[in-house]
Each structure stands twice: as C-alpha cells, then as structure tokens.
Amino acid sequence: EDPIVEVTDAKVTFDGGDTYVLDDVSLDIERDEVLGIVGESGSGKSMFASALLDSIPDPGVLSGEILYHAEDGRTIDVLEQSDEELRQFRWEEISMVFQGAMSSFNPTMKVGTHFKETLKAHDANVDEGMEFARELLEDLYLEPERVLDSYSHELSGGMQQRALIALSLVLEPEVLVMDEPTAALDLLMQRSILMLLNDLQKTYDLTLAFITHDLPLITALADRMSIIYAFQFVEVGTRDQIIADAGHPYTRALLNATPNLDAPLSEMQPIEGEGPAPVNVPEGCSFHPRCPLATEECVSDDPPLENIDEDHQTACHHWEQAREEITLNYGEST
Ligand code: SF4
Ligand code: MG
C-alpha cells in the first residue's frame, strides 16, 4: 500500500461545534487508484471532497489531519498550509472538478484564456502549458483550437465538462477529485466521459477520487469504493467486495436499488426514506430508522468501521446477518 492522501478524523462543524457535516472520517486514498465515493445528496460526500483541499465553505470549521504524500517524497500537512501554499497545492497536487461546468467558466472569457490565466497564476511556462492543454483536449476528443477559441456557452454541456477536466489537469496534478462531474449530463455522455477518464487516469498515472450518488456509474471505473451515510463512511472495500459481498445493509440496499448497469431507469427501486439532516442524526447507528435489521443495540451503540475481510471495512453490528438475509440482485444479467 502506498497512500497518496491520508485522512484521519476529519470533522467539519458549523455553529461552533453543535452541527457537523463530516463526522470524524478516516480514509486513505492509494496512489494511482480510482476511488469511488458514493452517497446520497446531503450525506457529506461533497464536504469530504472539499476537505481534501481544505476548502470547506464558510462558516464550516474543518479539524483532523490530512496528509498528502508528493511524488518527490515530501509530505504536506494540508491543514497547516498558508493561503499561498494552498493556492499552489490546489492545482498542482490535487485538482478538483465540480458538477456544472457552466458555473466554473467565466462567460465573458474565452476557454483558452482560462487556460492561460491558470498557467500564469502558477508561474508556469504558458507556451509549454498551452501545448499540453491541446494534448489534453485531444485526449478528451475535443478540437483544441475550436474549443480554446470559444466562449463556454458556445459549447455543449458535455464539451464544457470535458474542457473543464482538461483545465483541471493543465498543471499536472497527481490527484483529480471530481464531485458529481457528470451529473448534469445525459446518461450516454456520462458513460463516455467515464471511459475518457479511465484512459486519462492510465495515460497520466492519475489518482482519481470520484464522488457520486450514482453507484452503478462508478462501478464501471472504481478500483475501490467507499460508501458514506449521514456524514460517516459506513463501508470501504474493493469494487468486487462492495458489489458482491457488501456487509452494510445500506450498501446492499443501494445495490438493490439499481439491479444492473444496463437496466432501464424505470427498474430502479429507490430505497425508502431519506438520510438525516445534520441537526437530526439519530443516536446509535444513524441508519437504524431505515434498516430492516435494526435491534436495540443499533439504537444505542454507534458501530465503528471495522475489518470484516482483508481491506474491507463495514460499520454494522449485524453485517454477517445482512450478508445472509439481504439478498443482492445487483448485476443479474437481463
Ligand atoms: Fe442496521 Fe444495526 Fe447495522 Fe445499523 S448497525 S446498519 S441499524 S443492522
Ligand atoms: Mg453534495
């Protein structure tokens, strides 16, 4: 194992500590892996993404430790960086792509200008940088000259999102964090961008952290997956461990909500109820109000994330029972 990012007890609080939106989460991201981080909207997954870059929106307060291990052997303590150090770190080491390219591009600036400004702001060689930008755009099946010479509104949603991915890679970061980068696009475009990311990841030895509510989407790409519920990771494992052998009732419900990758959307069965709001997280296991296996123990004791197999952790008192009694129909062929 060779972690590139080590997150230990990351916590984000609002209101002076009464409300939290990330609850003491710990997770390693391995160098050159594709990590899928899956959760419903409002589960804390975007907070986790922002935490990696110490960019939690005000007035949130982030504590814990986030270590980044650079290629050259340096270890960077992310939460101890100065503003200037962070500014460099955010493009050159860990870069981030958000949902909605529309709002990421300045509508009054050509796409090419965004690339140049980004290179200048990081004292990079603009000619060399633009050369690399063209290469990246081509890797993403875009016509470099046309895209660079356009305003973002002149491009389709899928083209904008690909241009944004190219921009996020122009300073050659090691890690790319993507928060629902394809959620605004149609299914076909989502899948094709995922394939492109798969190629880019290999070409440039990238580490990808892909954050999504769409579990089947990410199973096509991920080496490992972590499932977040109510501001905590409830399960972490390899793709195959999660798909075939999940121990957490929530993971199993998510899998069953989406019978297989090719199923029509109409066949998906959303799981009952909603994740809790930050002010309203249940005592004990926070999933107990929605869990078919909940017992007294679940109501009173919060289960820790523990090893159930090698490299596979689950936070559930009854994971063995879950495996036996919650039958998976995920992946059954049509
Ligand atoms: Fe369900 Fe209990 Fe496991 Fe929580 S700890 S997921 S309530 S069985
Ligand atoms: Mg979110």
The pLDDT value given to residue 260: 58
Residues 161 and 294 in one domain: no
pLDDT given for residue 214 in this prediction: 87
CATH number of the domain encompassing residue 91 = 3.40.50.300
Whether 136 and 261 map to the same domain: the answer is no
Asked if residue 195 and residue 154 are part of one domain, the reply reads yes
Q: Which atom of ligand 1 is nearest to the CA of 303?
A: 5
Give the per-residue pLDDT at 333: 44
Cα–Cα distance, 323 to 277 (Å, whole number) = 28
In angstroms, what is the span from residue 293 Cα to ligand 1's centroid? 6
Residues 111 and 164 in one domain: yes
Domain-ending residue, one of 161, 190, 222: 222
Q: What is the pLDDT of residue 262?
A: 56
Name the domain boundary from 207, 222, 237: 222
Q: What is the pLDDT of residue 281?
A: 84
| Count of structural domains, the chain | 2
pLDDT, position 84: 93
Task: Report if residue 178 sits inside a domain.
Answer: yes
Residue 50 lies in a domain: yes
For the beta carbon of residue 15, count every other beta carbon within 10 angstroms: 12
Is residue 33, in this structure, part of any structural domain at all? yes
Domain holding 83, by residue range, is: 3-222
290 lines ligand 1 (CB under 6 A): no
- Which residues are close to ligand 2, an ion, with C-beta < 5 A? 46
Q: What is the 3-state secondary structure (H, E, C) of the chain?
A: CCEEEEEEEEEEEEHHHCEEEEEEEEEEEECCCEEEEECCCCCCHHHHHHHHCCCCCCCCEEEEEEEEECCCCCEEEHHHCCHHHHHHHHHHCEEEEECCHHHHCCCCCEHHHHHHHHHHHCCCCHHHHHHHHHHHHHHCCCCHHHHHCCEHHHCCHHHHHHHHHHHHHCCCCCEEEEECCCCCCCHHHHHHHHHHHHHHHHHCCCEEEEEECCHHHHHCCCCEEEEEECCEEEEEEEHHHHHHHCCCHHHHHHHHCCCCCCCCHHHCCCCCCCCCCHHHCCCCCCCHHHCCCCCHHHHHCCCCCEEEECCEEECCCCHHHHHHHCCCCCCCCC
Predicted local distance difference test score (pLDDT) of residue 278: 79
Pair (88, 235) in one structural domain = no
Rounded distance from Cα 28 to ligand 2 centre (Å): 20
pLDDT tens, position by position, 179-210: 988 877 888 888 888 889 999 999 999 999 99
301 and 244 together in one domain: yes
For 46-74, write each residue's pLDDT tens digit: 899 999 999 998 889 999 999 999 999 99
Kindly state whether residue 47 falls inside one of the protein's structural domains: yes
Low-confidence ranges of the chain (pLDDT < 70): 100-102, 259-270, 330-334
User: What is the Å distance from ligand 2's center to 214 Cα?
Assistant: 12
Same-domain status, 218 and 236 = no
| pLDDT given for residue 190 in this prediction | 84
Do 203 and 262 belong to one domain? no
Closest approach atom of ligand 1 to CA 293? 8
Q: Answer yes or no: do 167 and 285 share one domain.
A: no
